[in-house]
Amino acid sequence: MLSITNMSLSEIEKVCISLNEERFRARQICSWIYKHGVNSVDEMTNIPSSLRLLLHKKYPPLQSKIETVAKDVDGTEKFLVRLHDNNIIESVLIRNRQRITTCISSQVGCASACRFCASGIHGLVRNLLTGEIVEQLLHIKNSLPNGQRITNVVLMGIGEPFANYTHVLKAIRIINADWGMGIGARKITISTIGLINGIKRLADEGLQINLSISLHAPNDAVRNLIVPTNKDAGIRNILAAAQKYLEKTGREVTFEYVLIDGINSSPKNAMELAERLKDYQCSINVIPLNPVPEFAYRPSSREKIEAFCAVLEKAGLNVNIRRRKGSGINAACGQLTFLKKVVAGFVTAPRSQAHRLGQMRNFHGRNY
């Protein structure tokens, strides 16, 4: 069965017409799902019972569910979402003053296999469907107390968004649509490891989406070491694509840079990065490495991080140090992962992964 969240408004209208119902029923259905947050067609009280019955059989509103929620002391929450095939992915809610940001996933696993990121440790299982991307936001939205709302969306969770381009862009259009979740395009960010074709395609979409590129190195030799996919792209080509994105959309690109002690964090690395980016209109997010047990890399000291940023700032670059959030529940940048085929409380993923996630001792909404 295909859930409603996989469909555009026009597709839902076609479903209604095929079921001998009026076209306007599509907007009513969307209002119930995206505005009122219902999880069952039985709650759609202004929809004829005959249509509700058909929707229940063929087109359920949602096909995923929250398995459990972990809460960190800093207010960050990590949602484990069980998919229709029993794979479990992770999504994160991050609070920062009046801003509520959701970090959502685009794939089950990741093929990029960056050498500091937990998401790619067990490879790629599959792409997420459009509805599975949208439903992560819906689950988080529906969990919020009255008066709170999602203000920002970042596709920085598990997976490479541009490796699942079609489903990701369709999901974004639903998230952005007035009949959908109504979140402005400028409040939505796609983060990529640097898939050039994806950057070029996004530039032609006519959307004012923010683009974030995980650069992590000032040269190809260092980047090849920690980002294996760089061998297919190269920093020069990635920066050229980023410049074209700026020219076509007017949206400044952000470069993400995870600082790994002894690998890419020296003053020399900073000077080389500054020289490389000096002619680009961009921002740089410097991210202290969040340790992952499976990797030997360690974060730089606060003094080294500040010295690195000072070099960039002296060169006139706009630099932000990413504040660590959610590390107490393995929800910080680089720590998200997935569980394969969790059925009836038994984890079939490798033991190390299950252990890192607290062995998933229960599946009934308590913190793990």
Tell me which residues are annotated as active site.
90, 333
Residue pointed to by tokens 């990701």: 168
Rounded distance between C-alpha atoms, residue 31 and residue 25, angstroms: 10
C-alpha separations of 170 from 7, 130, 134, 335 in Å? 9, 6, 9, 26
Rounded distance between C-alpha atoms, residue 159 and residue 188, angstroms: 17
Sequential DSSP letters for 26-37 = HHHHHIIIIIS-
- List beta partners, residue 99: 96
Rounded distance between C-alpha atoms, residue 26 and residue 59, angstroms: 12
First to last CA, the chain: 31
Residue pointed to by tokens 């490798």: 350
Q: Which residues contact 28 (CB under 8 A, 6 or more apart)?
A: 44, 46, 47
Query: Would you state the structure tokens that stand for residue 59, as one six-digit string?
Result: 């087109």
